Amino acid sequence: MIKILGIESTAHTFSVSVVESNNFLKGNILSNVKHSYIPPNGSGIHPREASRHHSKYCAQILKEALTKSNTKIDDIDGIAFAIGPGLGPCLRVGAVIARTLATYYSKPLIPVNHAIGHIELASMIAGVNDPIVLLVTGGHTLISIFSNKRWRIFGETLDITIGQLFDQFGRHIGFSSPCGMKIEELASNSEQYLELPYTVKGNDISLSGILTSSKKLLLNNSIETVANSIQETAFSMLLEVTERAVAFSGKNNILIAGGVAANKRLNQMLNLMSKDRGISFSSCPIDYSGDCGAQIAWTGLLAYNSGINVKVSNSEIKQSWRIDEVDIIWRK
């Protein structure tokens, strides 16, 4: 039985998890402890302040994760950490802790791409091996298909992500990031739809026009109606390019991962489209859809089993690291 400790610190959340497995198809999440930095109202995530938050809570979160998993650090087979992409100051906190643990306790140091962590954990929990993945987070909005040892990007945002759309609109009306749940709550209180820019270019989408126009619509319309219009427009664009990926690839499963995977309306729309297409639909559970250590620990376990680890001297963070640049040697 292999046990991996995973550290997540890419943005506003610091999280530590312990995951074990002996078959590398299904993992047992023994603990998944996290604490998130909350900005002031109307503000976004300030990298320096978020990193200070991580430094303040890291020892507490690490201790709690080990205690909840009933695991001693000596029983851990490797230390996995999110090496990127993400906010530099935040990534450095997790990297320093991972390097320190790996060095002091003579454990392998395993770098993990944060976005691939989202995908691999969602795949494991859903029990799907070869899906079309819709990854929707604050840092990513893309459709990916696995081919030739890499997650290939079939389509993506050309400007801001769906998470950034929600966050920037939310901050405009006085909330603090992340704002996705607030936008969803507001949207659920209106059925009225106002036309917003619908921009699909091939397999890619553009969301910045929705943000600009929605701010203007607030002058003469309720916040709830504008929020509903934002969701309906952005989600319809995502549905169009996802359905195109289904038709192109011939795959029979759609998997949604990332923090926005918790949105009920997006899940409803994807589920209806999947039924029309005669394929299955899976969604990452809300407890694991946002940033968490379990994503890093499980992906780290897969990497460890494939012989992937790095020396401390080669563990520099990668603030911009696309998923299609990462070799996935554990998948066939």
**DSSP string for residues in 177-246:** S--HHHHHHHHTT---------EEETTEEE-HHHHHHHHHHTTTS-HHHHHHHHHHHHHHHHHHHHHHHH
Spatial distance between the Cα atoms of 94 and 9, rounded to a whole number of angstroms: 5
- Asked if 161 and 136 touch (Cβ cutoff 8 Å), the reply is yes
Give me the pLDDT at residue 175, please: 96
Q: What is the pLDDT of residues 298-309, one digit of tens each?
A: 999 999 999 999
Question: Are 2-118+291-325 and 130-288 the same fold in CATH?
Answer: yes
Q: What is the pLDDT of residues 128-164, one digit of tens each?
A: 999 999 999 999 999 999 999 999 999 999 999 999 9
Local confidence band at 332 (pLDDT 50, 70, 90 cut-offs)? confident
Least Cα distance to 157 among 176, 171, 138 occurs for 138
Per-residue pLDDT, averaged over 170-174, amounts to 97
Per-residue pLDDT, averaged over 2-29, amounts to 96
Spatial distance between the Cα atoms of 321 and 327, rounded to a whole number of angstroms: 12
Per-residue pLDDT, averaged over 216-220, amounts to 97
Give me the pLDDT at residue 35, please: 98
Per-residue pLDDT, averaged over 183-193, amounts to 98
Q: Map out the domains of the chain as residue ranges.
A: 2-118+291-325, 130-288
CATH number, domain 2-118+291-325, options 1.10.3720.10, 3.30.420.40, 3.90.480.20, 3.90.1200.10: 3.30.420.40
User: Is the domain 130-288 a CATH 2.60.34.30 member?
Assistant: no
Local confidence band at 65 (pLDDT 50, 70, 90 cut-offs)? very high
How many angstroms separate the Cα of 182 from the Cα of each of 51, 170, 174, 285? 24, 8, 11, 19
Give pTM, 2 decimals.
0.96
Per-residue pLDDT, averaged over 12-30, amounts to 96
Spatial distance between the Cα atoms of 18 and 32, rounded to a whole number of angstroms: 7
Give me the pLDDT at residue 24, please: 86
Q: Above 90 in pLDDT, residue 310?
A: yes
Q: Above 90 in pLDDT, residue 27?
A: yes
What's the whole-number average pLDDT of the chain? 97
Give me the pLDDT at residue 228, please: 98
Q: What is the pLDDT of residues 6-17, one digit of tens each?
A: 999 999 999 999
Least Cα distance to 79 among 29, 5, 16, 21 occurs for 5
